[in-house]
Structure 1
Amino acid sequence: MNELESRRNEIKQQLCQLGQYMLNRELAWGNSGNISARLSDNKMIITGSGTDMGQLSPPDLVQVDIESREWEGTLKPSKEIPMHAEIYKHRPDAQAILHASPFWSTMMSCTNISYKSELFVESMYYLERVAYVDYFHPGSHELGAAVGKKSEDANIIILKNHGVIVFDSSIKEARMALETLEMVSRMIITAQIGGISLQALSSEVSADFLNNAGYKPRRTY
């Protein structure tokens, strides 16, 4: 087994574990959503069309060429290839992409409520750059192009009336970004319902944390 084959097998195992993790923590449901990881500069591994996120096995994952969008094997990949491919093309640092419709974050996508990142440590880091994309039909080239453009300036993209897409430097970091987004979404909506005013930290404190606290290296993109 060569190095590329070994990496392909490892990525498939990690994505299968991620799908189960997302289902168990209500970050995914049924066959909604799709996840991928970069295999090489021009290849990605993505969930197949109609696959159940909580019951993924390696045959449910498809290798796709990022540029041509052609795939290997007989299983058709997720129709959301345009979003994934455009992010990988625009962001060479992206190693994993999660597209999901968790309850609280999807509810937020159906409102005009904006996110606050300056609430607590994880939100300051993972939600520093949140972008918004208007509704386009799932799998459309228009959606892919809009997401690709927004990905130049953000690691979390809210798809209006659709769900969310997050990406990061590893599967673990992308998962943490999605979990943080869902936590903040729940906090914001619960506060709205309860008439609670969330007290955000100042932009100066947030900037000082990102630059000097040593939590994680600040993103350069």
Structure 2
Amino acid sequence: MLDEFQIREDIVECGRRLYQKGFVAANDGNISVKISDDEILATPTGRCKGFLYTDELVKLNHKGDVLEGSAKPSTEILMHLAIYEERPDVRSVVHAHPIYATGFATANIPLSDCVLAEIVTTLGSIPIAPYATPSTPELADSIRNVIRHADACLLANHGVVTCGRNVFDAYYKMERVEHYAHIIYVAKMLGGERVLSPEEVQKLYQIRETYGTQTHANPGCLACTEDCVGGDCVLYEKKNKSHDSRNATDETRISALIRDIIQTLK
């Protein structure tokens, strides 16, 4: 078993960072850590993540039964349990609503294209899971197929979920997703992002292997086989052909929204 006291401290610290960075508001968001094969620490429901105490965390088993703690676990704990079931390698899950990434999620625009080198080498694809009612088994089921191949994904009309080998790993992936979403948003305002070529992606993939980066999704290719290494991706050409038209649509929608906001403020 891992050092439970330190893990509790780390969860509280990550909750504080989520709140300070504006990734969550009020009582939003949830964090969990798998501390043994059948023990999970999770944030309680109805508490602001910026002001948690270590003794408020709830300990439960893989079925969701509370083992220790007077509070109830997050209402979205079923999503966390589903991720642990699908991904035995995962030790922590973080769910939040960062502004830019959640904006893409509500617009139903995935962040799965290969655009930023740092994202290709660290996260790979950031897909979007179909909409499901929060705090229900429906949400847990909707994410299963997606999280098998990705360490971070958008939740349609909801937010973002990331997972990692420890709570800070999962938290930093949340930071990366939001930073990337902000960059893509700005790129769209400047005329649209440029998707990296298969050759460029393959070079980044090789760098990833050199660094020993462990991510479940091949860069930008959620639906590909594990043998795909960027340049061999059969989906790349199809995705790239539709990229310009999709960018035009996205830019039109976003530009119109900005004009409406400016008009309202006048």
Matched pairs, number: 215
Corresponding residue SS for 2:72:
coil
Aligned partner of 1:209 among 204, 209, 216? 204
Aligned partner of 2:194 among 196, 199, 202? 199
Aligned partner of 1:159 among 148, 155, 159? 155
RCO greater where, 1 or 2, for CA within 8 Å and sep 6 or more? Answer: 1
| Segment of structure 1 superposing worse, 109-118 or 164-173 | 109-118
| Segment of structure 1 superposing worse, 145-154 or 75-84 | 145-154
1:219 and 2:229 are equivalent in the alignment: no
Q: Offset at 1:109?
A: 0.6
The equivalent of 1:150 in structure 2 is 146
The equivalent of 1:69 in structure 2 is 64
Q: Offset at 1:220?
A: 5.3
CA contact (8 A) 1:101 1:164 kept: yes
Q: Which amino acid aligns with 1:201?
A: L
CA contact (8 A) 1:118 1:203 kept: no
Q: Offset at 1:121?
A: 3.5
Corresponding residue SS for 1:130:
coil
Tell me the distance in 2 between the aligned counterparts of 1:141 and 1:220: 24
Tell me the distance in 2 between the aligned counterparts of 1:88 and 1:46: 13
Tell me which protein shows more helix as a share of its residues. 2
Structure 2 unaligned spans of 5+: 218-266
- CA RMSD, 1 decimal: 1.9
CA contact (8 A) 2:30 2:94 kept: yes
Distance 1:136 1:116, change over 3 A: closer
The equivalent of 1:30 in structure 2 is 26
| Segment of structure 1 superposing worse, 116-125 or 174-183 | 116-125
The equivalent of 1:188 in structure 2 is 184
What TM-score do the two structures reach when normalised by structure 1? 0.89
Q: Which amino acid aligns with 1:54?
A: G
Tell me the distance in 2 between the aligned counterparts of 1:86 and 1:8: 22
Moved >4 Å (runs of 4+): none
How do 1:57-96 residues align onto structure 2 when only pairs under 5 Å count? 57-66=53-62, 68-71=63-66, 72-96=68-92
Distance 1:125 1:170, change over 3 A: farther
Aligned partner of 2:136 among 140, 149, 157? 140
How do 1:101-120 residues align onto structure 2 when only pairs under 5 Å count? 101-120=97-116
Distance 1:215 1:201, change over 3 A: farther
CA contact (8 A) 1:86 1:144 kept: yes
Q: Which amino acid aligns with 1:31?
A: N
Looking at CA atoms only, which structure, 1 or 2, has the larger radius of gyration? 2
Tell me the distance in 2 between the aligned counterparts of 1:177 and 1:36: 15
Tell me the distance in 1 between the aligned counterparts of 2:57 and 2:95: 15
Tell me the distance in 1 between the aligned counterparts of 2:138 and 2:112: 28
- CA displacement, residues 41-89 of structure 1 (integer Å, 9 cap, x when unaligned): 22211100011111111122111101x2101232100011110001011
Tell me the distance in 2 between the aligned counterparts of 1:125 and 1:206: 9
- CA displacement, residues 6-36 of structure 1 (integer Å, 9 cap, x when unaligned): 7211111000011111122222222111011
1:121 and 2:117 are equivalent in the alignment: yes
Tell me the distance in 1 between the aligned counterparts of 2:56 and 2:133: 24
Q: Offset at 1:200?
A: 3.0
Q: Offset at 1:95?
A: 1.2
